[in-house]
Structure 1
Amino acid sequence: MSSRIYERQFDEDDGQTLPTDPGCPECGGDTVTDGGETACVECGLVVEEYRIDHRGRLYTGFDEETNVERTGPPLTEARHDRGLSSEIGWKRDAHGNTLSGQKQRQIARLRTQQHRGRFDSRAERNLAHAFGEIARLVAAVDCPRAVRESASALYRRAQNENLIRGRSIERVAAAAVYAACRQDGVVLSPADLAGVSSCTVREVRRTYGVLNTELGLATPIVDAAGFLPRIAADCDAPADVQQRARELVDDAREAGYVNGRSQAGVAAGCLYVAGIDAEQRMTQARLANAADVSTATLRSRVAEIRDLEA
């Protein structure tokens, strides 16, 4: 058998670099596999998607002598019961055969009773509603599945700490998604969440502050390089400009220019300088709007980067 079929492999372990992968076709950077997606660590381009989950949950029988085992779907934090409940189908049985009309009506009645009895308390019903809102927000801002799991776990912790009382479910759900993005290193602003939810930017920030203080979240500071792909995508910056901007960010970090400054503003300033050097001019207003900073802040960062080049 020819070995050419092994020229490219897929590694389901999160964060594992594919050694046989030639690299990102856009910028040539390294690629990693995380949650079924192969993405570039430099520009964020999703090179390949593989959504089939081959993992399983192992059930061991109570009788150790017989050692009865079976597998099922993995546990998930995105369900109020962590995915342990059963789902009743609709028109077909387990073999794919169509059910008769009488059997379908019987299954419909069972499905109604099962839906009514799946929540043991009002808290579980509210939890299911919150997880549905989290799933909607994550899909609206195009975040990976891991963010949904982390946000659901944070919301469950907030409910156990009695932090939901006096606050709407939508506000806490949006704050949990923002906190999960901060923890997982996903660049997302409160304005992005406020645009797809029923709460304001101020409410997202204030509720996130409550979660951060009361739950003691370990939220790392997002580096300026993390803002480059999103700002560059909003401003249609070419790949060579992004690469030059990343080099400028590294130089500014080594010189200590990024300390105490808005990381998004530093990224926007580096993109502006890189665009001028490559004769790909982008307006200051467009870059400042994409970075959610003022044009005065952008001009200050540009002046500092120019001094660094000199």
Structure 2
Amino acid sequence: MASREIYANGFDEDVQTDNQTNGCPECGGRVATNTVETVCEACGLVLEEHAIDHSGEPVYEEETERTGAPLTTSRHDRGLSTTIGRKRDGKGNALSAKKRRQLGRLRREQKRGRFRSKQERNLSHGLGEVQRVAIVLDVDDTLQEQACQLFRSAHSEGLLPGRSIEAVAAASVYAACRCNGRSLPLADVVEAARVGENRVTNAYATLNKELGLPAQPVQPHAYLPRLASDLDVPDSVRRQARMFAERAEAESLARGASPPGFAAACLYHVAQETEYRLTQAAVADVAGVTTTTIRTHRETLRSELQ
């Protein structure tokens, strides 16, 4: 029976002897390779170092880089600030009362040091107002990001002094919709904003002039889907109204007219021709115009297109 312990003459598993080479090129000694470098045991010459670690985590094709959450224009710091939780930790466990009080103090100090200047505070308030107006008007995320970028451009160009932040925020949402050809009535924007119509109109005119917005006039046919949906008219009436609107646009009959008012007049005209029950008051109320406007545009359609 052996008196010595088992594996008394052990070896380091991380060190491997390089038997495939002829040894050290300097002294001919034995070369050993560990997880970091390849070195001669006799003279200490380092042959290779910083070996490639093949035990890393897998990289998938969809994952191109690891830089955290994407940047966003809807926050003044582009989303780089840290958000401190309130009731649960990263694993979903409830926090103790002591930890909640500590996080409350940290959250208060973070809020105090969040803005470096009054300009950043105004930018944060304006971007929040842009998101509020966009949510009220049911604007999609893409247009919301463009509206936030327009507000950033107005802030960097010095267009905010002397104007209401709420007015510029509402005008940014309206401008983003106009640049993308979405039919968004100005009356709806004013209703969602916290300022009057004159301020929103002046802010939009300033953005359009100073920033050179590629805003195109919205044609009357773009308002027909929303008006038809609000009035709950049949699809046949809506299709015929779109035909009338496109013919009127081709012959420049809608030039200078209110687009939603002209679209409402097309709907009312087709409804009267097809004997579908639709009153002038209901159409004017949905379009945000007067009944006189509906009658005037309807007479234009009857005299020019029939």
Pair in the same fold by TM > 0.5: yes
Match of 1:25 in 2: none
Shift of 1:128: 1.0
Give the partner amino acid of 2:115.
F
Q: Secondary structure at the match of 1:90?
A: coil
Match of 2:47 in 1: none
Match of 1:194 in 2: 190
Is the deviation greater in 223-232 or in 247-256?
A: 247-256
Q: Describe how 1:197-208 pairs up with structure 2 within 5 A.
A: 197-208=193-204
C-alpha separation between the residues in 1 aligned to 2:231 and 2:85? Answer: 46
1:96 corresponds, among 61, 70, 92, to: 92
Divergent runs of 4+, >6 A: none
Give the partner amino acid of 2:121.
R
1:187–1:226: 8 Å Cα contact kept in structure 2? yes
C-alpha separation between the residues in 1 aligned to 2:68 and 2:272? Answer: 56
1:131 corresponds, among 124, 127, 132, to: 127
2:229 corresponds, among 233, 247, 251, to: 233
Shift of 1:296: 3.0
Q: CA RMSD in A?
A: 2.1
1:297 corresponds, among 288, 293, 296, to: 293
2:265–2:298: 8 Å Cα contact kept in structure 1? yes
Matched, 1:85 2:81: yes
C-alpha separation between the residues in 2 aligned to 1:197 and 1:269? Answer: 28
C-alpha separation between the residues in 1 aligned to 2:208 and 2:223? Answer: 22
Instruction: State the percentage of identical aligned residues.
Output: 45
Could you say if the C-alpha distance between residues 190 and 260 of structure 1 is closer, same or farther in structure 2, counting changes exceeding 3 Å? Answer: closer
C-alpha separation between the residues in 2 aligned to 1:191 and 1:265? Answer: 12
Shift of 1:57: 9.3
Q: Secondary structure at the match of 2:192?
A: coil
1:277 corresponds, among 273, 283, 292, to: 273
Is the deviation greater in 91-100 or in 125-134?
A: 91-100
Q: Secondary structure at the match of 2:66?
A: strand
C-alpha separation between the residues in 1 aligned to 2:113 and 2:256? Answer: 53
C-alpha separation between the residues in 1 aligned to 2:301 and 2:70? Answer: 49
Matched, 1:176 2:167: no
Match of 1:112 in 2: 108
Match of 2:154 in 1: 158
Give the partner amino acid of 2:171.
A
Match of 2:263 in 1: 267
Shift of 1:106: 2.0
Give the partner amino acid of 1:136.
R
Shift of 1:228: 0.8
C-alpha separation between the residues in 2 aligned to 1:57 and 1:267? Answer: 48
Shift of 1:162: 1.0
Q: Secondary structure at the match of 2:171?
A: helix
Deviations 1:169-223 (A, max 9, x none): 1121121121122112222222212223221112211111111111111111111
Shift of 1:72: 3.0
C-alpha separation between the residues in 2 aligned to 1:207 and 1:230? Answer: 26
TM-score, reference length from structure 1: 0.72
Match of 2:253 in 1: 257
* Alignment length (residue pairs): 245
Q: Which segments of 5 or more consecutive residues in structure 2 lack a partner in the other structure?
A: 1-61
1:272–1:282: 8 Å Cα contact kept in structure 2? yes
1:57–1:71: 8 Å Cα contact kept in structure 2? no
Shift of 1:110: 1.8
C-alpha separation between the residues in 2 aligned to 1:276 and 1:73? Answer: 55
